[in-house]
Amino acid sequence: MSSLRVLISSDQIRSRIREIGVEIAHDYPEGPVYLIAILKGAFIFLADLARAMPTPSRIEFIGISSYGKGKTSSGEVKLTKDLDVSIEGHDVVVVEDIVDSGVTLTYLLKVLAQRRPKSVRVAALLDKPDRRMRPVRVDYVGFSIPDEFVVGYGLDYAEDYRNLPDICVLSDAN
């Protein structure tokens, strides 16, 4: 039996994203910033973040998988969908749902650096600092959370729960 407990409510998420949007807009007043969301988990965060920024942005997606169907990373990262455009000479903000071990971001930042962007920063809605195995700099963090498995607001467990409006802790007997 699985149970869900609200950790961060949709209202809390909304107001924090408004702050981050203003912060990013302030850092790139001219724009356009290339917001690159990591599929699939970041798609809802991206949609709200882009609308919270009063400055121009471009929306792009990249696919990376590291998790398989379990709750812990397989440690094996692969690119499942590449960008459709060149980011050479552009300011990039990688939009991620959650930074856990840091393996995914470390890999992605290496891939993106080869594309010669003007700059790259990272915006993550959630950060689980206790679980970090690779040091990565997260420039914009929504919420730091304890080492618990969370779902909702884009985050899944085996593809379920992405549509929950709140971020919830998923516990089960397994």
Query: Active-site positions?
Result: 100
Residue span 49-88 as binding mask against ligand IMP, x where in contact by CB under 6 A, dash where not: -----------------xx-----x---------------
Q: Indicate whether 167 belongs to the interface with ligand IMP (CB under 6 A).
A: no
Q: Which does 28 bind (CB under 5 to 8 A by kind): Mg ion, ligand IMP, none?
A: none
Q: Which is nearer to ligand IMP, 59 or 158 (CB)?
A: 158
Q: What pairs with residue 3 in β-bridges?
A: 171
**Least CB distance to ligand IMP at residue 124 (A):** 9
Q: Which is nearer to ligand IMP, 89 or 113 (CB)?
A: 113
Residue 113: CB atoms within 10 Å: 10
Q: Indicate whether 102 belongs to the interface with Mg ion (CB under 5 A).
A: no
| Count of CA atoms in the C-beta half-sphere (13 A) of 20 | 26
Torsion of CA 117, 75, 41, 28, to 10 degrees: -20
**Least CB distance to ligand IMP at residue 30 (A):** 29
Pairing between strand 167-172 and 150-151? antiparallel
For 61, phi then psi, to 5°, come to -130, 145
Torsion of CA 167, 169, 172, 174, to 10 degrees: 100
Residue span 112-151 as binding mask against Mg ion, x where in contact by CB under 5 A, dash where not: ----------------------------------------
Q: Which is nearer to Mg ion, 91 or 96 (CB)?
A: 96
Q: Is 39 helix (H, G, I), strand (E, B) or coil?
A: strand
Interface ranges with Mg ion (CB under 5 A):
41, 97
